Amino acid sequence: MAATITVTRNETVVDVAQGGAHFITGVDTVEGTDGDDIILADDGGLSAGDFVNGLGGTDTIRLRQTGTLDITLPATFAGIEKLEGTNPVTDGQSGNDIFIVNSVRMNMITGIDGKDGNDTLKLADGTTVDFAKLTGIETVEGSAGNDTFILGDLDVGRMTISGKAGIDTISVSRTYTLGADFENLTLTGTGDIDGTGNALNNELKGNGGDNTLRGLGGNDTLSGGKSDLGDNDTLIGGAGDDSYVVYGDEDVIDEQADGGAGNDTVISYGSYDLRSTNIRGSVENLTMRGEADFFGYGNSLNNKILGSVGKDTLYGLDGDDTLDGSLGDDLLVGGKGNDRYLYTNGADVVDERDGDGIDTIDYWGVDFDLDPALDSRVLGDVENITFVLDILGHTGNGNRLDNRINGNGMADILSGRDGNDTLNGYGGNDTLNGDNGADTLDGGIDNDILKGGDGDDNLIGGSGVDRLEGGTGNDTLDGGSENDTLNGGDGDDKLQGGAGLDVMNGGADNDTLDGGADFDTLNGGDGDDKLTGGAGGDILNGGIGNDTLEAGTENDTLLGGAGNDTLDGGTGDDIMRGGDGNDTYLVDSINDTVDEWGGLGTDTIKSSISLSLLIGSKLLGQVENLILTGTAELNGSGNGVDNRITGNDAKNTLSGLNGNDTLDGGKGADTLIGGKGNDI
């Protein structure tokens, strides 16, 4: 049964593994006294369910047993100050002890004495261990957590120290080089000592003395300490993308020694200039920390400069730089090169008056105007703007340059103004206005309105029910998927409907319209237009001008309108009405209908089947000419007017019927029957 053993006198030895009814397991309890107690424990004699309280005094758990002993102190232990291993001389045991201690117990313990033998301390989780507490320990092993090893000024050269998994730290007040499985090194005290990392991503921290910190391989962070302590440090990152933490310009940053390479950063708690003579080699990036108003300067490289919470002034100088003022009302001066401004918070001012290149603002607000005359937040010429937040719709306006304006996932209103602009709506129901210039407008997803304005524009509706208006100029319109409306406007426009039930209007001048898939309506308008229906039962209306109408598959309706039009129904049973003018019909099915009622002009049918020009259910109105096509043996006959009938290269029978007809059999053994009238 469970036993409770209470120590009632000072300097008492209590054997936890006494055996019999007093064997301590599970829910057993050992209570000490206010004196200095010693509790003897076998391997396995102490378990997580036991309660051990040493109470007052300096109390010790001492291992005893032949062989290597493991002891793990559970959270139910209290009042225990020391751990002792076995002694092969006095105890007659091997002395090879293993202590497994977690962070809570380690903070409570004032000393661990392994005695003789090869003894090991294993940390059970993320634990801080002070080596000054250790006596007779040959090996210290870290845990899977983040462990800290406090070495102080101890010479631990004969000990085996391993960090194992986790992000582990060595704290030492003498020159030290990290072992292969330690990540961080902290130098303590005020002595002039040095620290060296390894191939991992190290964090090296100096002390109050003059330190030399070497990161070697990996992406390292090196901090020499505050300069107000009077120290001057040398920070050598080595290979990798390294970060240097400085508090002024006194520390030397060396990116030439140890094969320095990578994309490196100075993290400064004061104003800083990447052109500093204390930088050997080159550093690309600068990050400001603190609450004061700082000045930050780049160099000739492509810099990324991040401000602090104050009112910072950041200069990119040469190179393609990225400037982010962060919090505060900042002044961002990119200088030469293609610069990017991250406009996040506050009332920042972007200054490109002395800059060149193609510059971009990434804006976290709602509305922005790139015209300096209309928006005080920009000075000089900036070409591009990208709206970042997907919370609200945005209004973005360009300037006289060739702008690129990017919306987000909400409903944006973007206007290019002058210049050859590129506007991307992305998600949301967007309105894109190209205004002047040869612009490219891409609505992206959702239901968009795209207006090209003046110039030769390229409009892309994307997915959604879109309305595209080309305006003046020779425009290209692509509706994309779903049911779109495309208006070419003035100029020789190209309209592509894509998928969906599209309505396409060419407008003035000579336009090209392609309905694509599904059932579309194509209106050529004025000018000599080419209309292609594609798949689906389409309606093609040429309007005024000499138009070409090609219906494609399905049963289509073709209306030539005024002018000399060419109507090709394609496959399917089509209805073709040429209207006024000298029209040409392409017939390939006995179910095609040609309608010339009220149409003026001299009209022609090109047929790949035998056909008569007599008025009937499939030929309405008067057609003058017939041309047989293909390679089959076909027959053709005229009507009561003066016909011109031409055969193909096969054997044909041609009949003029009434009127003064002209019959041309072409190649092949043809039969020509003139009928009444003066025939040729």
User: pLDDT tens-digit profile of 178-218?
Assistant: 999 999 999 999 999 999 999 999 999 999 899 999 999 99
Instruction: Answer for the pair 95, 71: CB distance below 8 angstroms, yes or no.
Output: no
Asked whether 319 and 299 are in contact (CB, 8 A), the reply is: yes
Residues 125 and 264 in one domain: no
Q: Are 492 and 512 contained in the same domain?
A: yes
Say whether both 534 and 607 belong to one domain: no
Q: Are 480 and 460 spatial neighbours (Cβ–Cβ below 8 Å)?
A: yes
Distance from C-alpha of 260 to C-alpha of 282, rounded to nearest angstrom: 9
**Is 413 a domain residue?**
no
Is residue 205 one of the residues assigned to a domain?
A: yes
Task: Look at residues 165, 182, 216 and tell me which one is the last residue of a structural domain.
Answer: 165
- pLDDT tens for 573-590 read 999 999 999 999 999 999
Q: Is residue 160 part of a domain?
A: yes
- Asked if 196 and 157 sit in the same domain, the reply is no
Q: Give the range of the structural domain holding residue 611, as residue numbers without chain letter.
A: 602-680
Q: Do 494 and 576 have their domain in common? A: yes
Average confidence (pLDDT) over 441-465: 97
Rounded mean pLDDT of 139-144? 89
Per-residue pLDDT, 86: 57
Please check whether residues 160 and 206 belong to one and the same domain.
no
- Number of other residues whose CB lies within 10 A of the CB of residue 474: 18
Band of residue 105 on the pLDDT scale cut at 50, 70, 90:
low
Q: Is 233 found in the same domain as 137? A: no
- The residue out of 587, 611, 632 marking a domain boundary is 587
Task: Out of 72-81, 168-177, 391-400, 509-518, pick the least confident.
Answer: 72-81
370, two tokens: 């790139």
- Residue 680 class from Cβ within 10 Å (0-12 exposed, 13-18 middle, 19+ buried)? exposed
**pLDDT of 7 strictly over 50:** no
Tell me if 241 is assigned to some domain: yes
Average pLDDT, the chain: 87
List beta partners, residue 514: 496, 532
Q: Which of 165, 187, 203 is the last residue of a domain?
A: 165
Predicted local distance difference test score (pLDDT) of residue 390: 73
Query: Strands, E, within 64-159: which ranges?
Result: 69-72, 77-78, 82-84, 97-101, 111-113, 120-123, 128-130, 134-135, 139-141, 148-152
Asked if residue 516 and residue 660 are part of one domain, the reply reads no
Q: Looking at residue 261, what is its pLDDT?
A: 83
Residues 172 and 76 in one domain: no
What is the pLDDT, as a whole number, of residue 244? 97
Model confidence, pTM: 0.81
In a domain, 560, yes or no: yes
Q: Are residues 629 and 488 part of one domain?
A: no
Are 512 and 608 within one domain?
Answer: no
Residues 81 and 109 in one domain: yes
Domain-embedded: residue 228: yes
Kindly indicate the confidence band of residue 365, based on its pLDDT and cuts at 50, 70 and 90: confident
Provide the number of structural domains found in the chain: 4
Asked whether residue 363 is domain-assigned, the answer is no
Res 362: pLDDT: 95
CA 446/CA 458 separation, integer angstroms:
18
What pLDDT is attached to residue 668? 85
Q: Is residue 236 part of a domain?
A: yes
Tokens representing 242? Answer: 């390294």
What is the DSSP annotation of 163-189? --SS--EEEESS-EE--TT--EEEE-S
